[in-house]
Structure 1
Amino acid sequence: MACTLALGVVSVCGVAKMNAQTPEDDKKFLATVQQSDINEIKLSELAETKATNPAVKKFAMKMVTEHKMMEMKMKPFADEWGLQAPPDLDQDHKDEYAKLSGLSGADFDKEYVDAMKKDHTKALDLFTDEAKETKNMKFQAAVIQGKTHVAAHKNMAYDLGKKL
């Protein structure tokens, strides 16, 4: 009985120790990704209603769908590490949202696509660095999968920008 109890304590301590060893850089990256997903979703939801170019509307719909999917892929890690998704846009994206809200037509479409180019370029750099740096193999697999989506989003945004 004492041996079973000792194994149970070691087991619980092992789990606590494993969680305590989660690198802070991985947590910081994931918190950044959570904020980025919220930003992309909210700006793209606005674009779904305000964009006039059908290709921009289609792109915005894809951003909403795929960023929600990316949120779900990262949720198990966020839950394990005790991270909560942010409730709203960060300040830079609140400013961008306000700017976009005041635009219409081709001006809106161009500004939205420019914001997507900028955001996805920064995100791709973050995903690339995290994929190299993380030591958590399960997390690394999710990061690499996310990186593939972000790279595709960046390319779509740049291609779309050339047509506007």
Structure 2
Amino acid sequence: MEAMQDSMAEIQVCEIAIEKSENADVKKFAQAMIDEHGRMGRELEKLAADKGLEVPRQVRPEQELTVDELSSLSGRDFEQRWIQYNIDVHERDTKVFRHYAQDEPDRDIATLAKKHGDALGKHLKAAHDLGKKLAKP
């Protein structure tokens, strides 16, 4: 459930990035995250439905606070906070997905966790690379 909420929150913050940033690298990364997390969310939603699990329809309150915070920022302040959010979330989610890929007894969940854990690892690397670019004056 948290993974689905994380995908929804990622899409929201990346939509803000596309609106607020004038940096082509930020826009490109944000659009890639919207596309990939949208696909990921749909796959997670299908698996949850197949398993009879309730599908969340909104982000967690702390994610809503982050969306509000990012909405209030602009320029370099926005980009720095936004990329740090992306790094933090992708670090956490990569660990969680890799844990489920190894330790989850349900093969369907473990398989999806492996697939998306690998993708999230790539997202994390891309976020770190973009963060280094954005850190330069």
Equivalent in the alignment of 1:123: 93
Q: Deviations over 1:37-75 (max 9, x none)?
A: 111111111111112211011111011000011112223
Equivalent in the alignment of 2:81: 111
TM-score normalized with structure 2 length: 0.91
TM-score normalized with structure 1 length: 0.77
Equivalent in the alignment of 2:16: 46
Runs of 4+ in 1 over 6 A off after TM superposition: none
Percent identity (aligned): 28
* Kept in 2: contact 1:42–1:89 (CA 8 A): no
Equivalent in the alignment of 1:36: 6
CA shift, 1:105, in A, is 1.1
The DSSP-based 3-state class of the residue aligned with 1:163 is helix
Q: Deviations over 1:80-121 (max 9, x none)?
A: 222333222211111111111111111111111010000000
Structure 2, gaps ≥5 residues long: none
2:48 aligns with one of 50, 68, 78 = 78
Distance (whole Å) between structure 1 residues aligned to residue 72 and residue 14 of structure 2? 15
Larger Rg: 1 or 2?
1
The letter of the residue matching 1:148 is D
Distance (whole Å) between structure 2 residues aligned to residue 88 and residue 34 of structure 1? 9
* Kept in 2: contact 1:48–1:57 (CA 8 A): yes
Distance (whole Å) between structure 2 residues aligned to residue 36 and residue 94 of structure 1? 11
* Kept in 2: contact 1:52–1:109 (CA 8 A): no
* Kept in 2: contact 1:48–1:61 (CA 8 A): yes
Q: How many residues end up aligned between the 2 structures? A: 134
Change over 3 Å in CA distance of 1:155–1:128 after alignment to 2: same
Equivalent in the alignment of 1:24: none
